[in-house]
Amino acid sequence: MFSKGSKQSNDAPPAAAEKSGGLLKSLKRGLSKTRDLLLTDVGDLVPRGGKIDEAALEELENRLLQADVGIDATSAILDNLRERARKAGDGDPGDLLRAAMLDILAPVAQPLDVSTANKPFVIMAVGVNGVGKTTTLGKLGAHLRDSHHKVLLAAGDTFRAAAIEQLQEWGERTGLPVIAQSHGSDAASVVFDAIHSGRARGSDVVLADTAGRLHTKDYLMTELKKVRRVIDKIEPRPDYEVLLVIDASTGQNALVQAKEFHQAIGLTGIVLTKLDGTARGGIVFALAQNLGLPIRYIGVGERIEDLRPFDAESFVDALLAQ
């Protein structure tokens, strides 16, 4: 029922086919656990050319919820699918599902633009412990470097043991300079120094790491607010991104984290990591439906190139691929 029809792949232009070759293959591999949970045996519910009925929709609802799409996003997908099926009549069910999913994800698939008149552009990574903030910044730094941006890393996680050393290792691996102070230093001071150092060096982007903190601990959030205040007071004030890094395997708890961080400090984007290790990849839909924040990147593996800009069409195609 919910596999894509052959018409789309046959009509794909050469550029689209080339794009899907590497990107789609990587995404299919990274989303395999979520795809298997969502689609296993569901294709038997409606034969090719058949009609979408309530029994098929009920089964799809169960699978969407199991994949952590969430109640709100699941309801939106099903309502959209019902309406499309009513209008399309004998339209291919897989194509209709694809369109319903894209209606949710397309608005949040907004690439990160680091161009600014007041260089450097600052990206502050926030999130709870263990989500992969430092690794994400290292990979992002490599991507920006390869896109001909001059990048500086700021070791703003002065709390976690070995966090500074980990970022310095990424600096050595990618050839990017790192601004760091001693363990236990004030994080806002580190970021302040990094921004001024970046201006002196002619850096295009400063990537600032921060200590992991529980979204439920107000006193830990206070430090992040301080970092933002320090950035806001710099003249001329640099443009910046507050990027929440989330572990996809936490499922609906990721949505709770995002809401708390957004309320506390104001987020401007999301990175969803570790999609390759979980069947809960549907959390992307929950985040899009409930928050509407731009999803900048997704992580689908350990390699640097497995951190990818979020592309709604490629994501849905990989999720529905057979």
CB atoms within 10 A of CB 72: 14
pLDDT at residue 146 greater than cutoff 70: yes
Query: Any known ligand binding at 89?
Result: no
Q: Where in the chain is the domain with CATH 3.40.50.300?
A: 121-310
Query: Any known ligand binding at 281?
Result: no
Query: Any known ligand binding at 275?
Result: yes
Peptide bond into 294 cis (omega under 30): no
pLDDT at residue 144 greater than cutoff 70: yes
Q: What is the mean pLDDT of residues 264-269?
A: 94
How is domain 6-108 classified at the architecture level of CATH?
Up-down Bundle (1.20)
Question: CA torsion sign, 235 to 150 to 206 to 311?
Answer: positive
Phi and psi angles of residue 66, each rounded to the nearest 5 degrees, phi first: -65, -30
pLDDT at residue 34 greater than cutoff 60: yes
Residue 31: pLDDT band with limits 50, 70, 90: confident
pTM over 0.85: yes
**Residue indicated by tokens 């990849």:** 281
pLDDT attached to residue 269: 98
Mean predicted lDDT score pLDDT of the chain:
86
Q: Are 265 and 225 in contact (CB under 8 A)?
A: yes
Query: Any known ligand binding at 213?
Result: yes
pLDDT attached to residue 151: 98
Q: What angle do CA 78, 81, 86 make, to 5 degrees?
A: 130
Q: Are 267 and 112 in contact (CB under 8 A)?
A: no
Query: Any known ligand binding at 274?
Result: yes
What is the C-alpha separation between 137 and 134, in angstroms, rounded? 5
Query: Any known ligand binding at 128?
Result: yes
Instruction: State pLDDT tens for residues 63-85.
Output: 899 888 999 999 999 999 999 88
Residue 5: pLDDT band with limits 50, 70, 90: very low
Q: What is the maximum span of the chain, computed from C-alpha positions, in angstroms? A: 66
Query: Which among 269, 19, 66 has a CA at the least distance from the CA of 74?
Result: 66
What is the C-alpha separation between 208 and 83, in angstroms, rounded? 45
pLDDT attached to residue 39: 62
Q: Where in the chain is the domain with CATH 1.20.120.140?
A: 6-108
Instruction: State pLDDT tens for residues 197-234.
Output: 999 999 999 999 998 876 556 767 888 999 999 999 99
Say which amino acid occupies 288.
Answer: A
What is the C-alpha separation between 273 and 298, in angstroms, rounded? 6
Percentage with pLDDT > 90 across the chain:
58
Say which amino acid occupies 316.
Answer: V
* β-bridge mates for residue 126, sequence order: 244
Mapped to the 3 state alphabet, what secondary structure does the chain carry? CCCCCHHHHHHCCHHHHHHHHHHHHHHHHHCHHHHHHHHCCHHHCCCCCCCCCHHHHHHHHHHHHHCCCCHHHHHHHHHHHHHHHHHHCCCCHHHHHHHHHHHHHHHHCCCCCCCCCCCCEEEEEECCCCCCHHHHHHHHHHHHHHCCCCEEEECCCCCCCCHHHHHHHHHHHHCCCEECCCCCCCHHHHHHHHHHHHHHHCCCEEEECCCCCCCCCHHHHHHHHHHHHHHHHCCCCCCEEEEEEEEHHHCHHHHHHHHHHHHHHCCCEEEEECHHHCCCCCHHHHHHHHCCCCEEEEECCCCHHHEEECCHHHHHHHHHCC
Query: Any known ligand binding at 80?
Result: no
Query: Any known ligand binding at 273?
Result: yes
Q: Which fold has domain 121-310?
A: Rossmann fold (3.40.50)
Query: Any known ligand binding at 225?
Result: no
Q: Are 131 and 278 in contact (CB under 8 A)?
A: no
pLDDT at residue 59 greater than cutoff 70: yes
Query: Which among 241, 265, 255, 239 has a CA at the least distance from the CA of 292?
Result: 255
